[in-house]
Amino acid sequence: MSKPFNYARLYDRMAPFYAPAMRLLPVWRRYTESALPWLSEAGTVLEIGPGPGVLLRKLSERHPLAVGFDLSPGMLRQAQRHLRRAGLPVRLAQGDATHLPFAENSFDGVVMTFAFSAIPDGQAALDEVARVLRPGGLGALVDACRPDNGSRIACWLARQWERFGDFMRDESALMRAAGLVIVERREFGAFNSIRITVGRKPGGA
Ligand SMILES: C[S@@+](CC[C@H](N)C(=O)[O-])C[C@H]1O[C@@H](n2cnc3c(N)ncnc32)[C@H](O)[C@@H]1O
């Protein structure tokens, strides 16, 4: 039997180069920040797959409780360094998004930027997002996509992501299957190749 692919090791190898690469691509950062308006500043927030913690730093500045959860110990070390240097609290945990070590109804917001497409079992990850969200809480995904307008360049880009092992999916359908109600689905960025999808857990005030 073949061994399962070791995603944590892949991201560990990328970790030292990831934040410098993000600095060279300010547009990437802007894409990730498109999730911020959806996360109420008063609430608790979980970022899944924060990588080196560039968005997590922003979340930690704005939210009383921001937690980062990542598969890769190497990425978490980078995030820890980044938060410490900024004098911010470090709340990080390691593991797989398909088994979150948090109680149900724990967070007002959950965000994933360019992390959902890295997770093979997307439905299991979104079921976990729905479980840990409080009723009324929002889950926001920002990721590369195959856009609804069928842009040939964006579809070509999506194929390149897939060649590198990413999964291009219909996040809205998977969110709905997890019990979330879609409140935003918008494509933007170069050739509409980026999509933000936001789902709300039913209930709450
Ligand atoms: C492409 S990076 C994105 C980093 C950052 N969020 C960004 O927007 O640039 C993907 C991140 O997701 C993490 N990741 C991949 N699979 C994961 C999983 N199953 N559970 C938790 N994190 C995962 C990786 O370790 C990595 O830090």
Q: Two tokens at 147?
A: 């856009």
Closest by CA position to 58, among listed 78, 81, 74, 41: 41
Judge contact between 66 and 47, C-beta under 8 A.
Answer: yes
Q: How many Å apart are CA 69 and CA 112, to the nearest integer?
A: 10
- Residue 112 beta carbon below 6 angstroms from any ligand 1 atom: no
Closest by CA position to 100, among listed 149, 47, 27: 47
Residue 189 DSSP symbol? S
- Centroid of chain to Cα 19: 16
Considering only CA atoms, give the Rg of the chain. Answer: 16
pLDDT attached to residue 170? 96
Mean pLDDT by 10 residues, the chain (205 residues): 75 91 90 94 92 96 95 96 96 98 97 97 98 97 95 95 93 98 97 97 87
Spatial neighbors of 24 by CB under 8 A, at least 6 apart, are: none
- Residue 109 beta carbon below 6 angstroms from any ligand 1 atom: no
pLDDT attached to residue 4? 65
- Residue 51 beta carbon below 6 angstroms from any ligand 1 atom: yes
- Centroid of chain to Cα 167: 13
At 195 the three-state DSSP class reads strand
pLDDT tens for each residue of 80-132: 999 999 999 999 999 999 999 999 999 999 999 999 999 999 999 999 999 99
Residue 136 DSSP symbol? E
Q: How many Å apart are CA 149 and CA 157, to the nearest integer?
A: 14
Domain range list for the chain: 7-200
pLDDT attached to residue 143? 98
Judge contact between 92 and 80, C-beta under 8 A.
Answer: yes
Whose Cα sits closest to atom 17 in ligand 1?
71
The 10 Å Cβ neighbour count of residue 114 is: 19
Residue type, 154: A
pLDDT attached to residue 204? 80
Q: Which of 12, 54, 72, 126 to mutate to test the pocket of ligand 1 (most atoms within 8 A of CB)?
A: 72
Q: How many Å apart are CA 143 and CA 133, to the nearest integer?
A: 20
Options 2.40.40.20, 3.40.1170.10, 3.40.50.150, 3.40.50.300; CATH of 7-200: 3.40.50.150
